[in-house]
Chains A and B, each alone.
Chain A
Amino acid sequence: MASDFAVQSLLQEVKRSLRPMLARWLSARELGLRKEEQVLLYLQAVRDAEKLARAVGRLEPAGRALLARCCAEEGPVAAGVALARTSSAGYDVTPATLGGLHVAGLAFFEMPAYWPGNAAWSVEHAQEEVVTPDGVRAAGLLCERAALQAPRCQTRLPKEAEAASARVAALISECLEAVSEGAVRMTQEGTFAARTQRMIDAMWARHGAAAFPRAETVLAFLRAAGMVQLESSGAVVPAAAFARERERPAPAHVAALLDYQLEQCAASRDGIEEYGFAPRSYAADTLRTVLLGLDAGEGVSVADCVELVHARAAAMTRGGGGVRGWSWPRSTQATPARAQWDRIVRGVVAELYRACGVVVECHDCYQAPCLALTAFGRYWLHGAGAPLHEHEHQQLIVQPDFTALLTHTGPWDRTAQVLRIFGAHSGDDNASVFHFSRERVQAAARHGHKVDELLDVLEARATYPVPENVRITLREWGMPAAEAVLHRDANVLWFSSRAARDAFMRRGTCPARPLGEQCALLCVPRRAALDVMQALAALPVDYAQPPTAGIAILPDGSVTSAAAHDLRIAALREAIAEPVPAGPGRSEPRWVVSARRLSACDEPTQLFQQLVRLPGTPLSLAVRVQLLVLLGLVPRVAGGTYAVLENVSAGVRTELKKRIPWRDAVLFDGTPQMAVVAPPFAAAVRSACAALGMELMQVSIEPPPFEVHESR
C-alpha cells in the first residue's frame, strides 16, 4: 500500500489535466466526480487484474519491458536506470516510452515538476525516481531479453577456448581450500594479512593471467554467497553454506562469480551524476544481450559492439515522439562519446567476459579479430550444457597408503573436485595424487561434507576395488565429531612421575586415558575411581569443596602451600611464581614470586581476588599491597607508603561514598577485603573514616615484604 499512498497524493498534487489518463480506467459517469474520488476509483481499478491486463496489453513491447523494469526493484527506481536496463535488454525505449506509461496510468515520476509536457528531457529527469501503483507491482511483470542484432561473422573456436574459465574455476577452488585450512586472514584495515597476501600472490601467479578477478573480489563474492565469513579476529572461516556451495559444479562457481561482478557493476554509481545511468553496466548488459543471440560458429567484433552500444545509448536518450502532451519534445541528456564507449566496452570485454572465459578472442574468415562464445559462455547465458570433463582413458587408483592417483583430469572434473575436498592434492592434470589424512577428512566433515560422498566417488570411479582398510578408516575419520568435549564427572589421577603414570596405564586395572606428562583421566564412575584411589593409597582432592589450604608468601619470596597438590592452588602459584632449582638437601624445586609472571598476567584483578579469598592464613596487608603494585593495579608511589582501608562492609562503603568522591579517592577497590586510597585524598578519607569509627591504615612496602625474582 506504500506506493498507492504515494501515487494518491501525487495525482492529487499534480497541476495538469489527468483526464486522458483517467479516461482509460474510469467510466464516463465516474469521470464526472470530484478529482479526489476519481483518484481513489482509479487506484481501485488498477488493483482489478482484468482491467490491469487490458491496460498492459495495450502497451508496446518496449513499454511493457520498461514497466517490468520499473517494478523489478523493491523500491522506486530512477528513470534513467530503468530506461538503460530496458534498452540493454534489447528494447528500443526512449523518454517517450516513459511518457506512454504516464498516460496509461501505470508509472509516474514521483515529482510532478518532471512529468511529461513541454519541457525538455534532461539528466535531472533521468535521475528522478518513478513510482508504480501497488496493483501494477503485484502483477509480477517480467522483462525477457529481446534479440539484439549486431553484425556477425563466421569463426572457429581456438583449442584453448575454455582455458580462462578453467583457470578462474581453479582459483576459486584453491581459495576455498585455503579458507578450509584457516590460511586466510585479514588485518584490521580490511586488507589481507602479509602471509595471506604472499599466498594469494603465489596462487594468482601460478595460474598466470593478468586480467583475473582480483582476490578481494573473489573473497567478497564468497562472503556474499554465504560460503565464508569474517571473524572479529580477522580470520576468514567457512560459513553455513560452505559445504553445499563448494560441492556445486565448478562452472556454476565461475558463473556465480561473474553474476556477482555484474551485480556490483549495476549497483555502481559511476556516471549516474553525469549521464543519468551507469555506462559500464549498460555496456556489460548490452553485450550480454548481443552474446545471447550468437549461434555456434558465429562471432562478433568488438568494434561493432562499440558502435551498437553507442547508437543504442544515443537513441535511448533522444526526445520527441510518443503521445502529444505526454512526452518530452527535446532531450538534453548527454551520453558518452564514441571514444569513451570504445574504452568502456573494451574494458568490460577484457575484465569481465574474457577474464571469466565467456568469450574468447579469435579470427573470422578474413582474419579480422572477433569474439566468439565459449562452451562456458553458452552455459552461463542459457543455464544449460555446463562444460563436462569426460575422458575415456581416465584411471583412478586408490592405494592402501591412503593415496589416490587420478589420471587425465581437468578443471571441470567432478571426481577431482570431490577428491580435493577430502585430500591434499599434488601433481598436474596428467597425473594427480590425492593424499587423505585424518586432519583433512575431519576438517571436511566439520565443514559439512559427508565422507559417504567421497566413498561413493571412489567406489564408482576406481579402476580397481578400493582397499578395505582405506574404506573403513575413511568412514571412521569422517564420523561427525564434536569440536569440543566436556568430560563431566571425570576423575583425574596425578602421579609424581611419568614413569609411575605409564606403569599404571600398562597395568590396565582401570580404563584410563593419559593426560599430559603425569596425569591420567579415569574413564569410570566415581565409585570405581574411589576404589582405584584406595588401591593406590592416593590422596583425594575434592573439587566440590574449596581448597583445604591457601598460599603463603615468605620474606625470601618463596611461595608455599599445604595444599600444593590441589590444581587450583597450583594454577595460582604458577600465575605468580616460577620454579627455581631446589637448594641442597631438597628434591622438589622451590617456587619464588616472579615479576615477569605477575606483569604478564591477563586478568590481574581476578587473580588478586582469588589470592585474597583463599582459605587459611590470609596474606598480610603489606604483602597484598606489594602484589597490587607488582600486578600493576596500583601505581608505585615515592616512599612506598599507602593508605589502606581493610574490611570495608557494603554499609560502610555506601556511607563513605556519600562523604567523599569514592571513584577518584580509591586507587584500587577490592572491597570488602580492602581498598587502597590515593594519597591526595588520604586526609579526607581519614576524617570520613573517623566519623564512622574506622581507621585508615598506613602500610609501607619499603623495605618490600618479600623478595621478587626478576629473571627474564
Chain B
Amino acid sequence: MTVLHHNVQILELADAGVRERVLRIAQVRRALIMALDETHWLVHAREARKLVEACKRAGVTVKVHTYGE
C-alpha cells in the first residue's frame, strides 16, 4: 500500500565530506529518524531547529527549503 508521510522534515546532505562532518554532531544524530537513501534523512520536526543551529555552529551552511504555502 502507498503511504504518505506528511508533516515530516528531510535533511539533504549531498557532499560526502559535509555528510561525515554533520553526522558526527550529537544534536543531528538525535534528530535523525532514519536514512531514506545515501543523501537524505528523515528528521524529527521537534529537533529541526536545534539541528540547524548545531550545523551553523559547526560551520555548515544549512538552507531551509519549505514547500508550504
Residues of A within 8 A of B (CB): 182, 231, 233, 237, 442, 446, 481-496, 500, 515-517, 519, 521-527, 529-530, 532-533, 536-544, 565, 567-568, 570-571, 574, 602-603, 606
Chain A residues whose C-beta falls within 8 Å of the C-beta of B14 in the assembled complex: 481, 485
Max count, chain B CB within 10 A of own CB: residue among A484, A526, A541? A484
B48 in contact with A486 (CB, 8 Å) = yes
B57, CB-defined interface residue at 8 Å? no
Q: Which residues of A contact B17 (CB under 8 A)?
A: 182, 237
- Measured between beta carbons, the chain B residues less than 8 angstroms from A492 are 4-6, 8, 10, 36, 42
Q: Are B6 and A486 in contact (CB under 8 A)?
A: no
Q: Which of B4, B11, B15, B36 contacts A538, CB < 8 Å?
A: B4
Chain B 42-56 against A: per-residue CB contact (8 Å), 1 yes, 0 no? 110100100110010
Docked-complex contact A487 and B65, CB < 8 angstroms: yes
Name A492's closest neighbour in chain B (CB-CB).
Answer: B5
B contact residues around A523 at 8 Å (CB): 67
CB-CB < 8 A to B68: which residues of A?
Answer: 488-489, 525-526
Q: How far is the CA of A565 from the CA of B69 in the complex (A)?
A: 27
Which residues of the partner chain B approach A541 to less than 8 Å between Cβ atoms? 3-6
With contacts A182-B17, A233-B24, A542-B6 taken as known, whether A485 is within 8 angstroms of B37 at the C-beta atoms is: no
On chain A, the residues within 8 Å of B61 by CB distance are: 482-484
Rounded to whole angstroms, the CA-CA distance of A568 and B13 in the bound complex is 20
- Among A486, A524, A536, point to the contact of B43 (Cβ < 8 A): A486
* Inter-chain contact B6/A567, CB cutoff 8 Å: no
Given contacts A529-B4, A543-B6, A567-B33, contact A484 B18 (CB under 8 A): yes
- A490 with B4, Cβ < 8 A, contacts A485-B63, A525-B67 known: no
Known: A533-B4, A539-B3. A487 touches B33 (CB 8 A): no
List, in ascending order, chain B residues with CB within 8 A of A527's CB: 69
Asked if residues A538 and B67 are in contact (CB atoms below 8 Å), the reply is no
Task: Given contacts A483-B13, A488-B65, A529-B4, list 6 more A-B pairs with CB under 8 A.
Answer: A482-B62, A486-B51, A488-B9, A536-B2, A543-B6, A567-B34
Q: Are B11 and A543 in contact (CB under 8 A)?
A: no
Known pairs A488-B48, A525-B68; A493 contacts B4 (CB<8 A): yes
Q: Determine if A484 and B12 form an interchain contact, defined as CB atoms under 8 angstroms apart.
A: yes
Is there an interface contact between A519 and B7, defined as CB atoms closer than 8 Å?
A: no
**Cα distance A480–B29 when bound, in Å?**
26
Q: Is the CB of A544 within 8 A of B62?
A: no
5 A–B contacts from the bound complex (CB under 8 Å): A484-B18, A495-B2, A515-B40, A540-B4, A542-B6
A526:B10 contact, CB within 8 angstroms: no
Query: Residue A493 contacts which of B3, B9, B33, B62 (CB distance < 8 angstroms)?
Result: B3
User: Quick one: which of A486, A530, A532, A533 contacts B65, CB cutoff 8 A?
Assistant: A486
Nearest B-chain residue to A504, judged by Cβ: B2
**Contact A539/B2 with A488-B48, A544-B45 known, Cβ cut-off 8 Å:** yes
For A538, the chain B residues whose CB sits under 8 A away are: 1-4
- Least CB distance from A242 to B in Å reads 12
Cβ contact within 8 Å between B11 and A484: yes
Residues of A within 8 A of B60 (CB): 483-484
Interface centre among A491, A543, A567 (most CB of B within 10 A): A543
A447 to chain B, nearest CB (A): 11
Which of B30, B42, B66 sits near A489, CB closer than 8 Å? B66
CA A488 – CA B52 in complex, angstroms?
Answer: 11
Chain B residues with Cβ under 8 A from A482's Cβ? 61-63
User: Please, how many angstroms separate the alpha-carbon atoms of A603 and B31 in the complex?
Assistant: 13
B64 touches A488 (CB 8 A): yes
Shortest CB distance B12–A (Å): 4
CB distance from B8 to the nearest CB of A (A): 5
Q: How far, in whole Å, are A489 and B40 apart by their CA atoms in the complex?
A: 15
Chain A, residue nearest B37 (CB): A516
Q: Do A571 and B34 touch (CB < 8 A)?
A: yes
